[in-house]
Amino acid sequence: MQSGYIDLRIFRRQQWQQIWPTPFLAIIAVIQMLITFIIIGFETWSMVLNIKYAFLFIGYAASIFFTITWISTFTVGKYDQ
């Protein structure tokens, strides 16, 4: 009897492609990118209006993490095929 060997990387990639298709990942990444730009814009605008009551640069700190996230999502969608 032949033993069945399944390459786990290929199996996981196939599962990933079934659950998260590439167009859906692209939509998520674009939404994340737009939210990041909106956060940076609002943070800059609040600093222009009144630097004393600006939100302590929290928007810029948050935008760093959002940028990493949407770049990673684009990368996963690119290599998903």
Structure tokens at 5: 């060997």
Model confidence, pTM: 0.66
Task: Report pLDDT for 59.
Answer: 80
Q: Mapped to the 3 state alphabet, what secondary structure does 20-70 carry?
A: CCHHHHHHHHHHHHHHHHHHHHHHHHHHHHCCCCCCCCHHHHHHHHHHHHH
Segment 26-68, tens digit of pLDDT = 888 899 999 999 988 988 888 888 877 666 778 888 888 889 9
Neighbours of 38 (CB within 10 A): 13
